[in-house]
Structure 1
């Protein structure tokens, strides 16, 4: 495989990771010191900052598709003309981008991206739906999350959690989006051959709701508990499971 082939492979691994909406895959495709700049604005510096920036849009997207319109690769650098498409709350939003990617030759991960994009146009387009999602009540946010739980997709289950959220379940502490989605990966296996029924969503305070639940299944004793969710700006920041 040529040098250019390896560069293209690393760039397209990042694009595929973004399309998956799974921040764990994004993390694997980025160098720890990655820098992402939407020119001429200030860059996000460091992998954590880049992931947090991307989480703001891809976690609330039901689908992401970045169409590559043209590409050229030389050495460790790739030039990609794209149409970045996001499906959010039932509608599609798209923005043309021209990205200059640079690859770290040792780790074969993306270490730098300069994206040339009309952020003003993009923000005007997407602002209404982002405001609507941000302004959701705690009950609306949690209802959307519970629908995802019944669907069994761990990435969808984690979609409404803040990047730095905390999930507590007994003695378990799952801190941050990545740890939370890792926990949700095992939920389908835990619920195999079992039925979970959620109670009503009850307000605890202006930013908290409580949901009781009951798990039953053949050959097992029923399990009953409740979750208390804290919600801020349309995202779950804390979940406490009472067993």
Structure 2
């Protein structure tokens, strides 16, 4: 068939001659809004190419385009291999600074667990219990141990005397050498709570308050629960 006739037919009927035209390969495409073709490569081939570049070419001789395609972890590993002793010392100094900042942020992270002093301030009595970090009791005293009976156990004065007595017992038994950190745990809001605070901040607690590392409140809160007793009405 005459080539001039085919060319004229293709110009006249483009749909007929379109199937005869050579098609571009699947991997050679044109980007939108651009006439520049872009060759798509598979992910495996690209990974293998990067591995070959890392194994064959040092980090200093690689061009900027190749370094841009390498991940940050690979760059860090390459930097560790080619880093001199001065760079290592600089890294150790940075590590020391980070550890110091962590110690400032959490000053008690590397210390032994604290002992616990439970202060149960009931409206009818005050109970003080000293325990080890694992929960084993070391001392447990209440206002009844000081000679107060029945209704006389409640109030500010019995709790004040009890707290002073407990602090004196801790010093006499030599527990200050064993206790390095002390956590005070309050419970309930009886009159003994304020008495304990006054003694701790007073002259009787000068050797104890330096050991206190934490003060918490373990007062129990009731959400629903059983029915409360009726309100007492006098007169």
TM-score bracket relative to the smaller structure: under 0.3
Q: Report the structure number with the largest CA radius of gyration.
A: 2
Q: TM-score, normalised on structure 2?
A: 0.21
